[in-house]
Amino acid sequence: MAAKKTVVDDITFHAPPQEEKPVETRVRIKLPLREDDQSAGLNVDHFEHVTISNELGENTIYVKRGEWVDVTIPVFIQLRQRYPDI
């Protein structure tokens, strides 16, 4: 939904200031590539899917393997359970 703009005259308008979202702390990680699928010559999904669900809804985050990625703390906690060496 677009913010309503107040018209001052025919040329100038005033837009209300937008609310700033709080900055989330991020952690820089690099997930290892899947070794077993590469040797077999299969087409693999190079993303790790992390789903965070709570009373506000469900959010799915895709983390690229083999590259440095900044993730939020809840995503890092979930990935740390699966990959303890990250």
Domain span holding position 64: 24-82
Structure-token pair, residue 46: 């190079």
Over residues 60-84, the pLDDT tens digits come to 999 999 999 999 999 999 999 999 9
Residue 55 lies in a domain: yes
Residue 15 lies in a domain: no
Residue 34 lies in a domain: yes
Residue 69 lies in a domain: yes
Structure-token pair, residue 41: 């010559």
**Residue among 64, 30, 28 at smallest CA distance from 49:** 64
Total of domains in the chain: 1
Residue 53 lies in a domain: yes
Residue 58 lies in a domain: yes
The reported pTM is: 0.66
Is residue 52 a contact partner of residue 59, using CB atoms and an 8 Å limit?
Answer: yes
